[in-house]
Amino acid sequence: MVDAAPSAWNPANVLTVLRIALVPVFVVALLWDHGQGVALRLVALGLFLLAAATDRFDGWIARRNNLVTDLGKLLDPIADKLLMGAALVCLSLLGNLPWWVTVVILVRELGITVMRFFLLRYLVLPASKGGKLKTVLQTAAIAVFLLPLHSLPGWVAVIAWVLMVVAVVLTVVTGLDYVRTAVRVWRDAAALRAKAGAAAAPVAPASGSPAADPAAGPTNEATGPARPAGV
């Protein structure tokens, strides 16, 4: 008996959709009053951490209860990129974070996502340990930047910048590593296709062989081409 496929609207996917729904609420809370309100900054931080937590729980629930679906595979990376992208762009709009940091991180994240999509025909590119650490550091750095730093001691801002610099370095390094892996996979796949094409190609008969000259008549293995009778 074949088990029924899990519903697209299972608890794991519902959590993912809720994470997406939290993004506009988070943006409004962060940008309200130009990001100067201490209470709203803390509300935005709470929403960000709540959304980030659902990213861990929805995957765990899906794997534990065999609820992995194509919809979940599609929505999960979209939800991740929306949350992180919205936080980075808003922080840059508020002047809390230089635009180059936002651009570097977003270009890397979107580029690797597109690259993984094109590599699906060859393999699923799993997240490396460095990639997972990068995600943790990005989340931690953004969370500290979401604090009302203008109302906190200067050392808090120093911690925020240390975390962000390390996160950016890991973002670039792991991105280059993924690109290196992708190039290797593409080359291996191209070599296999070339080998398969060569093996499937028909072998042409040698020039001058009887098969190449139909007028030569039938052949005899011992004496060569047979002669007409009486000649």
pLDDT tens readout for residues 106-156: 999 999 888 877 777 766 666 678 888 999 999 999 999 999 999 999 999
Confidence category of residue 231, pLDDT binned at 50, 70, 90: very low
Is residue 204 situated within a structural domain?
no
- Per-residue confidence (pLDDT) for residue 84, from 0 to 100: 95
Place of tokens 């500290």: 144
pLDDT average, residue stretch 4-10: 75
For 16, residues 6+ apart whose C-beta sits below 8 A from its C-beta are 54, 58, 72, 75, 76, 79
Within a domain: 191: yes
User: How many Å is the Cα radius of gyration of the chain?
Assistant: 30
User: Given a cut of 60, is residue 163 above it in pLDDT?
Assistant: yes
Residue 112 lies in a domain: yes
Residue 39 lies in a domain: yes
Tally of CA atoms within 13 A in the half-sphere of 84 that contains its CB: 28
Number of domains in the chain: 1
Name beta bridge partners: 219.
225
pLDDT for 87: 97
Q: Is residue 165 part of a domain?
A: yes
Interval 71-92: pLDDT, tens = 777 788 888 889 999 999 999 9
Identify which of 129, 131, 73, 75 has the alpha carbon closest to the alpha carbon of residue 105.
Answer: 131
Among 193, 217, 204, residue whose Cα is nearest residue 121: 193
* Nearest CA among 134, 143, 92 for reference residue 109: 134
Structural domain span for residue 183: 11-195
Alpha-carbon distance of 231 to 226, in angstroms, equals: 11
Quick one: pLDDT at residue 230? 45
Average pLDDT, the chain: 83
| 115: Cβ contacts below 8 Å, ≥ 6 apart | 125, 178, 179, 182
217 is a domain residue: no
Whether 205 shows a pLDDT value over 50: the answer reads yes
Mean pLDDT of 4-20: 83
Residue 223 has pLDDT above 80, yes or no: no
Residue 41's pLDDT is: 96
Helices 129-146 and 70-93: crossing angle in degrees, nearest 10, is 40
Distance CA 185, CA 192 (A): 11
Whether 219 maps to a domain, the answer reads: no
Question: What is this structure's pTM?
Answer: 0.77
Assess if residue 30 is contained within a domain: yes
Number of C-beta neighbours around residue 228 at 10 A: 6
The domain that holds 186 is classified in CATH as 1.20.120.1760
